[in-house]
């Protein structure tokens, strides 16, 4: 599926510095400490065995029954602890992302909907999942952790997998260019929402939408160029689309100009009716 002619991205705030993962010093601001500690826990605990165990817990889809819109509204109670750029509930970020995509690609309504829902998997945090296992950038487990992972120089030292020769080799349990669909990613909101939607037979979003949802947090890959040796043709083709999405996901973050959610509700409820109707198992 090709996206119709883009209008150039004009409303990007070039003054503000996004994704500024500052190094930890003893005089640190509370947000920077919150972000660092989230990644420290994530990089300490996310390993092959841990991810398998999360599959057991979450892929039974027995936590809740609700529509996508109801799940989206639950984001109004979640502040993402991994994000140095957002300190308000995540529901605003959902509408900011969606609305900016809608402005640039008015005809690609499925893309608007991806903007709206891409982070809905974060509702896991409301059902007992720690934030370090819900939010933040993702990375493959079962092979060597890349230097391109944020804070990786100090946060992986207690991860059980770095002591295992197979898991800490370049390819680990994978084969060259095996394709990301065959790679086990650290557990988080991307994989979770992807699986929830796959499990919902009435979901008619295109393959591109599923792909963006599944890999939008894989910054070491889509932005820093790591792990290319695990990618197949499909991944390289989809990379451009994920990068396009990433601009909207990141540069529209704004804690001051908050969208009026009631005003936008009707448009997006119709999109949900069109592409993801019904009650989903979460
Ligand atoms: O802190 C953010 C946030 O958790 C996003 O939802 C995720 O997609 C990004 O990768 C991460 O950097
Ligand atoms: Fe996300
Ligand atoms: Fe996001």
Residue 11 lies in a domain: no
Its domain, for residue 124, covers: 30-281
Do 120 and 193 touch, CB atoms closer than 8 A? yes
Q: What is the ipTM of this complex?
A: 0.99
Is 137 marked within a binding site?
yes
Average pLDDT, the chain: 94
Tokens at 89, concatenated: 């509930």
Residue nearest atom 1 of ligand 1, based on CA coordinates: 83
- Nearest ligand 1 atom, CA 93: 6
Q: Using one digit for the tens of pLDDT, what is the confidence trace for 18-43? A: 999 987 765 678 999 999 999 999 99
Is 158 marked within a binding site?
no
Higher pLDDT, 218 or 7: 218
Tokens at 23, concatenated: 């190094």
Residue 22 lies in a domain: no
Q: Using one digit for the tens of pLDDT, what is the confidence trace for 175-233? A: 999 999 999 999 999 999 999 999 999 999 999 999 999 999 999 999 999 999 999 99
**Strands 65-66 and 280-281: what pairing?**
antiparallel
Query: How many domains are there within the chain?
Result: 1
Q: Closest ligand to 85 CA? A: 1
Cα angle for residues 87, 239, 124 (degrees, 5° grid): 40
DSSP 231-251: --HHHHHHHHHHHHHHHHHHH
Predicted pLDDT at 10: 46
Residue 261 lies in a domain: yes
Residue 37 lies in a domain: yes
Computed from CA positions of residues 249, 251, 253, 257, in that sequence, does the dihedral angle turn out positive or negative? negative
Mean pLDDT of the 112-136 span: 98
- Nearest ligand 1 atom, CA 19: 12
Residue 129 lies in a domain: yes
Predicted pLDDT at 11: 46
Residue nearest atom 3 of ligand 1, based on CA coordinates: 136
Do 198 and 214 touch, CB atoms closer than 8 A? no
Q: Using one digit for the tens of pLDDT, what is the confidence trace for 69-83? A: 999 999 999 999 999
């Amino acid at each position: 599926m090709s996206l119709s002619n883009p209008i150039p991205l004009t409303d990007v705030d070039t003054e503000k510095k996004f994704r500024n993962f500052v190094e930890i010093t003893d005089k640190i601001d509370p947000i920077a400490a919150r972000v660092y500690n989230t990644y420290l826990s994530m990089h300490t605990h996310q390993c092959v065995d841990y991810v398998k165990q999360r599959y057991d817990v979450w892929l039974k889809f027995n936590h809740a029954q609700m529509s996508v819109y109801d799940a989206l509204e639950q984001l109004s109670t979640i502040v993402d602890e991994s994000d140095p750029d957002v300190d308000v509930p995540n529901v605003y970020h959902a509408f900011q992302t969606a609305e900016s995509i809608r402005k640039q690609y008015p005809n690609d309504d499925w893309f608007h909907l991806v903007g709206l829902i891409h982070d809905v998997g974060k509702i896991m945090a409301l059902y007992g999942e720690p934030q370090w296992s819900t939010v933040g950038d993702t990375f493959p487990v079962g092979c060597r952790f890349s230097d391109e992972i944020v804070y990786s120089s100090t946060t992986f030292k207690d991860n059980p997998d770095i002591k295992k020769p197979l898991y800490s080799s370049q390819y680990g349990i994978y084969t060259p260019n095996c394709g990301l669909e065959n790679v086990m990613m650290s557990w988080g909101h991307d994989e979770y929402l992807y699986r929830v939607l796959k499990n919902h037979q009435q979901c008619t979003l295109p393959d591109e939408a599923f792909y963006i949802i599944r890999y939008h947090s894989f910054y070491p890959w889509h932005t820093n160029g790591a792990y290319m040796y695990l990618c197949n043709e499909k991944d390289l083709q989809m990379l451009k689309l994920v990068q396009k999405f990433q601009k909207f996901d990141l540069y529209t973050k704004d804690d001051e100009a908050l969208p009026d959610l009631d005003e936008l509700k009707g448009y997006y409820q119709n999109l949900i009716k069109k592409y993801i109707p019904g009650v989903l198992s979460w």
